[in-house]
Amino acid sequence: MIEASKTEAGRVKPVYGMVGGGEGAFIGDVHRKAIALDGKACLAAGCFSSDPENTRRTGSALGLDPTRLYKNYEEMAKAEGAREDGIDFVSIVTPNFTHYPIAKAFLENGINVVCDKPLTMETEEALELERLAADTGLLFCVTYTYTGYPMAKQAREMIRRGDLGEIRFVNAEYAQDWLATKLEETGQKQASWRADPAKSGKTNCVGDIGSHMENMAAFMTGLRIKSLSARLDTLVSGRVLDDNASIMVEYQGGAKGLYWASQIAVGCDNGLRIRVYGSKASLEWRQEDPNYLRVSYLDKPTEILSRGRAALYPEAARFSRVPAGHPEGYFEAFANVYASFIDALAKKASGETLTGDDLDFPTAGDGALGVEFIGKCVESSQKGAAWVDC
């Protein structure tokens, strides 16, 4: 078995490396700031770009040792895996098509992995990464950011404990307008690679934000999709991949669902919203107002639960960082995902047994479910929105 971690070498805190996130990138800097928020891990190495000069400049700006700035991810994985003081985990923040080979390279060199979503382009690749992590005893986290919000975790706990009764229907939507025009033709980096099938994969909208809907619905409810019917639209003329999607789902156990994802919804910024309807109550959570959870009952008035004020279940309350009235948002949610992963890494390295609470972060298994969902949506749409089994 490949050694799971080098954290036990007596370091005060874990160290990590990053692939991607160089000059001109957005999400890599978000990851670095989220990790830094709690100070639980230090950045020590990187291959920040396919351009070595970009990597050099980025590493210099971050104060890294020049000998730990690498020309490519293969070199980095091999070198860091061989060092006594090598990185404990890698954070992969590159476009979709690179996730699988990069993650595989680091797992094969005994390094734990955090990877952006979607995990891979194909379900078989995601399942292989899940198996490889299990076989090597390494930890694997997929950064589905929104699972880190305390009120999203409160919703999960309420559903787990039966507060809503039997779940009957789930409505999820994620509406944006940033691709309402053909932004990819302007040279905008984020739009350009997402609109390119060679880099984004079979889908743009469903893979980029539809995967968040699937993950959040599964995270909150615990329901698994049995079958789905999807229509993927390309509504901006000349665009190759989808920018809007309507998806009906049937869950194992009989509950139903309806998802809508759009990047051409003019007037919408980042409108992720989840509504769950049970036999006794319903709840609603919105990412743009994440510190509140609306809960409605059959037999008593609607409640608005406030993070920092309401009495939350312990599994949610432990992720709340500041008092009521001080908004917690995107960076804190990201930090919560990383904090859970890094704490689990340190606990595992000390020889302690990990519990379910320790593993409260999205795993490679969650990532594989997301990749399967994306593939099934594309398959259904290509068949005229036919129902397909999941």
User: pLDDT tens-digit profile of 204-216?
Assistant: 999 999 999 999 9
Domain membership of residue 117 (yes or no) is: yes
Please report whether residue 282 resides in a domain: yes
Q: Decide: 105 and 99 in contact? Cβ < 8 Å.
A: no
Q: Tell me, what's the pLDDT at 24?
A: 86
Question: Is residue 44 located within the same domain as residue 136?
Answer: yes
**In this structure, are 160 and 131 located in the same domain?**
no
**Range of 27's domain?**
7-146+336-362
Assess whether 41 and 77 both reside in one domain.
Answer: yes
Cα 277–chain centre separation: 24
Identify the pLDDT of residue 246.
Answer: 98
Q: Say if 388 falls within a structural domain.
A: no
- What's the pLDDT band for 11 if we cut at 50, 70, 90? low
Q: What is the mean pLDDT of the chain?
A: 95
Quote the distance between the C-alpha of residue 172 and its chain's center: 16
CATH, residue 296: 3.30.360.10
Mean pLDDT of 290-308: 96
Full-model pTM: 0.94
Burial environment of residue 161 by CB neighbours within 10 A (0 to 12, 13 to 18, 19 or more): exposed
pLDDT band for position 7 (cuts 50, 70, 90)? very low
**Which helix (H) or strand (E) element contains residue 197?**
helix 197-200
Residues 124 and 259 in one domain: no
- Same-domain pairing of 12 and 130: yes
Q: How many domains does the chain have?
A: 2
Domain shared by 168 and 249, yes or no? yes
Q: What is the pLDDT of residue 230?
A: 98
Q: What is the average pLDDT across 283-294?
A: 98
Instruction: Report the alpha-carbon distance of residue 33 to residue 29 in Å, rounded.
Output: 6
pLDDT value of position 9: 46
- The residue assigned the tokens 């919804």 is 265
256 found inside a domain:
yes
Classify each residue of 353-384 as buried b or exposed e, where b means 16 or more C-beta atoms within 10 Å of its C-beta: eeeeebebbbbbbbbbbbbbbbbbbbebbeee
Residues 176 and 303 in one domain: yes
Percentage of the chain exceeding pLDDT 70: 97
Binning pLDDT at 50, 70 and 90, where does residue 2 land? very low
On whether both 28 and 141 belong to a single domain, the answer is: yes
Please measure the distance between the N-terminal and C-terminal CA atoms of the chain and give it in whole angstroms: 33
Asked if residue 77 belongs to a domain, the reply is yes
Q: What is the pLDDT of residue 13?
A: 87
Same domain flag for 136 and 37: yes
Residue 86 has pLDDT above 80, yes or no: yes
User: Residue 356: enclosing H or E segment and its boundaries?
Assistant: none
